Structure 1
Amino acid sequence: MAPAERVNTPELLIDLDKVAAGYRAVTAGLPGMTVHYAMKCNPHPEVLAELHGLGCRFEVASAPELDLLTTVGVDPAGVLYSNPVKPVAHIARAHAGGLWRFAFDSEEELDKLAAAAPGAAVFVRLAAHQIRSGVPSEGKFGVDVATATALLLGARDRGLRPFGVAFHVGSQMLLPQAWRAPLRAVAQVMDKLAAEQVMLEMVDVGGGFPARYAGPVPPLPDYAAAISTGLAGLPYDVPVVIEPGRAVVAAAGTLRASVIGTALRHGRRWVHLDVGAFNGLMESLETGNELRFPVTDSRRAGARERCHLTGPTCDSQDTILFDVELSAGLRAGDEVYIGNAGAYTSVYASSFNGFPPPSVRCTRGS
């Protein structure tokens, strides 16, 4: 078959052995914290089944995500519904299925929960101190200490169970100390609630634990130390949960793409792939091309040149990486392999300009 006729890319290869290794690394590096995998970053059924078999728990943002978990044997009673604002129908469906812990951060959400999930346990979302993460994602949700306290007391008044506090410091957080200020806020909430005879049963310190892309990241024990310091300041012991995503699955994924053409523009080689920001690598766009995926190619030539790696659409924003070192002489039909692509790739993908998202194939030991 001629190179131009190849049609089996883009393809996301997921090594399930590396998924298992990622999960074990997280549990070992962050001991004493119950892992609820953030399934939004990669909800492939084989990934979920692998994690479920290892004893991992899960968090969801919608009832359809919960439905997918049940197809691989997950008991909804062990799942957290961490989206602070939910459609009423999703709340009712999840509650009827056995899920009993729901996040919230507003009076209106409490009213919805009281009506659609009477007696449920609820945990309030605190706003996290703003420290820039590698993939900024905070600002949309969360309230201050006074509001969080009032909301949990309001939950009790509505017949709901004031259960816990949650926060999220962002995604791909490279500063372990980012957890300290939010945990001081958690301590204040717990103190204020204790004065009202309300004792919490869970602190959810969220996700944000990083994966390694082109450069090193702090080791997980550094995060455990920072979180433990914050937990030591709480007025009483409480179970702690985490919601890792990319730290579990990013390293397990390799995005296999084909070169569809190259061009020399303004002294730099542009390499156009059949995958780009809109059909698989949206985080390139989200981070201003600062997320440096490791990249190799099928030529593996000794002669190298720096290239701009871009996607297949006609949108100028559809560029993955600038100044990437690849084999000199890449041509249409060659393949490029984008590493650490197991998180937020296929799930973010659209078919903009008619270019399809990657197919997904799970392997072992690749």
Structure 2
Amino acid sequence: MAKQFENNMEECFSTSKGVFYLKSLSLEDNGSVSQVIKKRIEAINDENQESEEGDAFFVADIGVIKRQHKKWKTVLPRIEPFYAVKSNPEPLVLKTLANLGTGFDCASKDEIQRILDLSVDPSRIVFAQTTKQISFLRHAQKHKVKLMTFDNEDELYKIKHKYPGAELLLRIQTDKIKGSVNFGMKFGASLDSTKPLLQLAKALGLNIIGVSYHAGCLIAEPRAYRDALEHARSVFDEAKELGYDMNLVDVGGGFPATMEAGITFEVIASRLSQAVDDMFPKDVRVIAEPGRFYSTNAFTLCTQIISRRVVSTEGDSDPTFMYYINDGIFGSFRTLDFGYIHPVLKVLRKNQEIQDDWSGEKVYTSSIWGPTCSPDDFVAKETKLPKLESGDWIIWEKMGSYTSPASSEFNGIPKPKVYFTET
């Protein structure tokens, strides 16, 4: 195991941005996630005899990512996964997926370069950004990253001028599909504008090879995935009338790691797979842009209670507790309000095991606050917890997506380091 991590360390070091992440990569961690968590906390306590306060940290299980990939290939064999780098760009995550043969959804020059530095062929990258900075477009051309999306006239003129040899995907809106994140507010051509865009592209001599869309997140109705594909199919037919022979459809992201909105990934995959086969012949290539599916369950965040405030109440009522932890809304919980993360809370008290069930003990109304000076830095305004002490730890599972990448170091609070294991 240690040798495996050592090899990954050397490979990650070759990446252009790897130096910023190698500091977080431990080569000595082995065992289950719980074992690694306890080991790290013991180390913090040993190093800080006068204070049990340590920085927050992640423990990541690469084995989870590998098992998710196996699940994808089993239930969606026709659809090629292009991992959304933005969800979690940790070098060891990217390298693992590169070795597994996935493609990559990149949205910037930096993301493209990270993947190229892993010796991934440019054909395994989709530049899935409909509004591209010119320097990013030039970078894509220089490195032969041809596949990219667009959704407006200005982008077509830009591509004609800077990268006429690109292979284009027309991104369309799926407004009737309601998810927690409405991508149609910002991205995608309306269905009544697709024909004029196709006509303009034809006049400019540009090569449109397919259609792209993102159905949304937290979709409660499986039928929505078929509806989105029907929109894509109509644009395929429209393009054929204009002389285009499209051969690729990108069904986007939003795939849950397990279950969301009462629907499992397997149910979504079954409906989507059937719809693809019903609407597109086998010679049409189908790709997707999963991010959260791969990384969400692989990362666990460990935060320490650095202070506690007891709020007294009148009469015989129980007190309430305010717990202050060493990560917050300006850090790993940055996207909490956007619905991008749905962490599962556990606790680790001194000399005890990690606990997720306190039904047999007294609980108190509690709130959880981040470490900064901002009054808006709260993680949970009201929750029920057993009585905890300063120095205890609150453990957050399902924290692998849109956490560290979206975080800042506001007030000088450092980003959590990452310690890897593989189960």
TM-score for the superposition, normalised by structure 2: 0.79
How do 1:300-315 residues align onto structure 2 when only pairs under 5 Å count? 300=355, 303-305=361-363, 306-315=365-374
Q: Is the 8 A contact 2:368 2:381 kept in 1?
A: yes
CA offset digits 1:27-51 (Å, max 9, x no partner): 2232210110001000111000001
In the alignment, structure 1 residue 140 sits paired with structure 2 residue 186: yes
User: 390, 393, 396: which one pairs with 1:332?
Assistant: 390
Q: 1:131 to 1:22 in 2, by over 3 A?
A: same
1:275 aligned partner: 327
Paired letter, 2:412? G
In the alignment, structure 1 residue 6 sits paired with structure 2 residue 53: yes
Secondary structure of the structure 1 residue equivalent to 2:242 = coil
Moved more, 260-269 or 152-161: 260-269
Q: Is the 8 A contact 1:184 1:233 kept in 2?
A: no
Distance, in Å, in 2 between the alignment partners of 1:329 and 1:284 is 25
User: 87, 109, 119: which one pairs with 1:63?
Assistant: 109
Paired letter, 1:45? P
1:264 aligned partner: 310
Structure showing greater radius of gyration is 2
Paired letter, 1:69? I
Q: Is the 8 A contact 1:125 1:148 kept in 2?
A: no
User: 222, 225, 240: which one pairs with 1:176?
Assistant: 222
Distance, in Å, in 2 between the alignment partners of 1:107 and 1:262 is 56
Distance, in Å, in 1 between the alignment partners of 2:193 and 2:127 is 21
Distance, in Å, in 2 between the alignment partners of 1:304 and 1:164 is 58
Q: 1:206 to 1:347 in 2, by over 3 A?
A: same
Q: 1:335 to 1:3 in 2, by over 3 A?
A: farther
- Structure 2 residues without counterparts, runs of 5 or longer: 1-47, 314-318, 350-354
Q: 1:211 to 1:358 in 2, by over 3 A?
A: same
TM-score for the superposition, normalised by structure 1: 0.91
- Residue 197 of structure 1 and its aligned partner are, at CA, apart by 2.1
Q: Is the 8 A contact 1:173 1:210 kept in 2?
A: no
Distance, in Å, in 1 between the alignment partners of 2:174 and 2:50 is 50
- Residue 233 of structure 1 and its aligned partner are, at CA, apart by 5.4
- Residue 279 of structure 1 and its aligned partner are, at CA, apart by 0.6
Q: 1:195 to 1:19 in 2, by over 3 A?
A: same
CA offset digits 1:257-292 (Å, max 9, x no partner): 1111122347532221111111111221223xx954
In the alignment, structure 1 residue 343 sits paired with structure 2 residue 401: yes
Q: Is the 8 A contact 1:153 1:162 kept in 2?
A: no
- Residue 181 of structure 1 and its aligned partner are, at CA, apart by 2.2
Q: 1:58 to 1:164 in 2, by over 3 A?
A: same
1:107 aligned partner: 153
Secondary structure of the structure 1 residue equivalent to 2:310 = strand
Moved more, 38-47 or 64-73: 64-73
In the alignment, structure 1 residue 352 sits paired with structure 2 residue 410: yes
1:316 aligned partner: 375
- Residue 318 of structure 1 and its aligned partner are, at CA, apart by 2.1
In the alignment, structure 1 residue 218 sits paired with structure 2 residue 259: no
Q: 1:137 to 1:235 in 2, by over 3 A?
A: closer
2:279 aligned partner: 234
1:251 aligned partner: 297
Secondary structure of the structure 2 residue equivalent to 1:272 = strand
Percent identical among aligned pairs is 28
Q: 1:52 to 1:232 in 2, by over 3 A?
A: closer
CA offset digits 1:104-162 (Å, max 9, x no partner): 01111111111211221101110113443245544111112232232233223223211
Secondary structure of the structure 2 residue equivalent to 1:25 = helix
**What CA RMSD, in Å, does the superposition of the two structures yield over aligned residues?**
2.3
Q: Is the 8 A contact 2:342 2:398 kept in 1?
A: no
Distance, in Å, in 1 between the alignment partners of 2:168 and 2:91 is 28
Q: 1:86 to 1:231 in 2, by over 3 A?
A: same
Q: 1:362 to 1:141 in 2, by over 3 A?
A: same
- Residue 99 of structure 1 and its aligned partner are, at CA, apart by 0.5
User: 133, 136, 140: which one pairs with 1:94?
Assistant: 140
